[in-house]
Structure 1
Amino acid sequence: MPTPEQFNQRGANTLPGHLGIVITHVGDGEVRAELPVVPHLMAPNGFLHAGSIVTLADTCAGYGCVASLPAGASGFTTIELKSNHLGTAREGVVECVAKAVHLGRNTQVWDATVTHRDTGKTMALFRCTQMVLYPKPAA
């Protein structure tokens, strides 16, 4: 199973690293991460951009999928995601916990909850469905 450090290194030069997402835990069926609320993640209205929250949740679900791929799988692609935004932030750190709901041979479903570290308030509920990919058989 990949470690948080391996995922952080993997994402360093891509969107998760650019936004400042830090993976803090990878376990069986669970990934945790955090994201500091900083100016470049804000919407023009002065609140944390919904896209920043979705990216945090999607990153946790995606890394969870990678850590849980069945034998012989080569990767995955997201086929659906949904988020319900219940709150936002202007400062502090937001945290995400993604948990596997279904780990099948062909699909995985992950639920993620994003909360504000200081207040403990739930900011978003997220569900992601991934299709597991396999190498094309040799002809």
Structure 2
Amino acid sequence: MAQETDRAAQLNAAQAGTLPALLGVVVDEARHGELAAHFDVAAHHMAPNGYLHAASIIGLVDTACGYGCVVSLPQGATGFTTIELKANYLGTARDGRVSCRARLVHGGRTTQVWDAEATNGEGKVIALFRCTQMILHPR
């Protein structure tokens, strides 16, 4: 558990000044194959129509999957890049917390596939997400 706390703290510190920090993303748990994160809904997460902007959800779930990939890189890998992502929106949030749990579905030497669910403060699933990461190795 201490290692998970350390990894989450390291990821939170490393994102200072980047998009995840601007969105208010907070990593709650980080371990091989799984990552949990959240943000508290604020005005900057909203679209002009008063509902949560789809890009805010993408920012959260893609960050969770990307950080999960970093924590789960195979030995010898130097990083990753996203090569595909897809989201299905099932609901929204206008206030409260939006949480995400990401999990590794496929962890190969050259690719990883991650699934994530975003939920609103009532625990309702508001988005399903899947992405594929290409694992980078030294040349």
Alignment TM-score, normalising by the size of structure 1: 0.94
**Is 1:15 aligned to 2:31, yes or no?**
no
What residue ranges of structure 2 are gaps of 5+ in the alignment?
none
Q: 1:133 aligns with which of 129, 136, 139?
A: 136
How much does 1:125 deviate?
0.1
CA shift, 1:28, in A, is: 2.5
Alignment partner, residue 60 of structure 1: 64
Q: How many angstroms apart in 2 are the aligned matches of 1:64 and 1:100? A: 8
The percentage of aligned residue pairs carrying the same residue is 58
Runs of 4+ in structure 1 off by over 4 angstroms are none
Q: 1:28 is matched with which residue?
A: 32
Pairing 1:1-139 to 2, within 5 Å after superposition: 3-117=7-121, 119-136=122-139
Structure 1 residue runs without a partner (length 5+): none
Secondary structure of the residue aligned to 1:97 is: strand
CA-based RMSD of the aligned residues comes to: 1.0
Deviation at 1:27, TM superposition (A): 1.7
Residues in 1 aligned to 2:8 and 2:82: alpha-carbon distance in whole angstroms = 21
Matched residue SS, 2:76 = coil
| Cα deviations by residue, 1:77-105 (Å, 9 ceiling, x for unpaired) | 00000000000111000000000000100
Contact 2:31 / 2:72 at 8 angstroms: preserved in 1? no
After superposition, the C-alpha distances for 1:48-89 in whole angstroms (9 at most, x for unaligned) are 100000110000000010001111111000000000000011
TM-score normalised by L of structure 2: 0.94
